[in-house]
Amino acid sequence: MKIKLAVIGCGKWGLNHVRTAYKILGKNLISVCDTDTSAQEKVQRISEKIKFTNNIRDITDNSEVNAVIVSSSAETHFDIAKECLLAGKNVLVEKPITLLSKEAVELVRISVEKNLKLMVGHVLLYHPALLTMKEKIDSGEIGKLQYIYSNRLNLGTIRSEENILWSFAPHDISIIQFLTGSVPEYIGAKGAAFVQQNIEDTTLTYMKYPGNVHAHIFVSWLHPFKEQRLVVIGDKGMLVFEDSLKTEKLKYYKKGFNIVNGEPEKFESEYEVITFPEKAPLEEEQMHFFDCIINDKTPRTDGVHAKEVLEVLETAQSRLNE
């Protein structure tokens, strides 16, 4: 079976999908759709051979196309993904998969009924550094998981259709879900809006996972510099992944406390830099999508995973509103 792909939504991020898909698939990237026809020029600069359309029907009615990447704005994801699934296409939707978890449930139902793959673009779960962290956690190198925190901060693209929680935190929620292999038992959140009324620029989400694992996520687009820092604390050691650094992105710290004669006794040593394969996460994500379709596998970030992330977002949002 050959993948014949279309991409719907070709804005800032969608263009990355188009470039990446063209690199992987070449002429089997059949078509790109955007309601804004000014996207055509950018697509044609990648290849003259990619068909451009501003009508999604040209994709859903095209029986040659068997896979679609949806990278339009978040509020359009549900309708577009549903239309594509109903037309028999396997679908990779950008995050957030939909705006409501009940919509994600409906997409999952259709994909199961039609035996199609449904995947969400939680791209960090395809980052080789994160996969290396997961291996180290699962092999017991840092002992029992205790605390995880993620800072995702920047003077970033401020959105008016969604707050920082919905814009940045899906990544961190999906990461913590992946690392713990579970969903939170407790969720609390606070946030503040400064730049636009009622649209939080900064939020802090606190979560408790089964097995006494605690976590927090601090996201902000009102911050003087870019920081993407993920810290994982175990009772035998600690892992730190800083994607915003140029070098030494992933480190292992053999630090912590042992109880000796009933008293906490500190142990610590120099950090160790951990290497990981140099692979582009978006390319890995798309190749995983294609592999799942061709070899009938369940995507790492399937519709169920996406729905669980959305449920955490919804609860966190309701706590912000309290």
DSSP 227: E
Q: Which tokens is 164 given? A: 């920082």
Residue 16 CA to residue 19 CA, distance in Å, equals: 5
CB neighbourhood size of 13 (10 A): 16
d(CA 138, CA 309): 21
Is 71 one of the binding residues for ligand NAD (CB under 6 A)? yes
When CB distances to ligand NAD are compared, the closest residue is: 11
> Residue 8: beta bridge partners?
33, 70
Least distance from ligand NAD to the Cβ atom of residue 34, Å: 4
Please count the other Cβ atoms lying within 10 Å of the Cβ belonging to residue 296. 10
Which residues are CB-contacts of 275 (< 8 A; sequence separation ≥ 6)?
A: 250
Q: Which of 83, 87, 94, 286 binds ligand NAD (CB under 6 A)?
A: 94
| 36 makes contact with ligand NAD (CB under 6 A) | yes
Helices 303-320 and 164-180: crossing angle in degrees, nearest 10, is: 130
According to the binding rule CB under 6 A, does residue 8 interact with ligand NAD? yes
Among 56, 230, 293, 313, binds ligand NAD (CB under 6 A): 56
State how far the Cα of 63 lies from the Cα of 218, in Å rounded to an integer. 44
Question: What is the contact mask toward ligand NAD in residues 291 to 320, using x (rule: CB under 6 A)?
Answer: ------------------------------
**Residue among 73, 196, 275, 298 that touches ligand NAD (CB under 6 A):** 73
Q: Which window, 34-42, 106-114, 270-278, 289-297, contacts ligand NAD (CB under 6 A)?
A: 34-42
Told to check if 74 binds ligand NAD by CB under 6 A, we report yes
Q: Point out which span in 7-15, 198-206, 220-228, 242-250 binds ligand NAD (CB under 6 A).
A: 7-15
Residues that bind ligand NAD (CB under 6 A): 8-14, 33-36, 39, 56, 71-74, 76, 80, 94-95, 121, 123
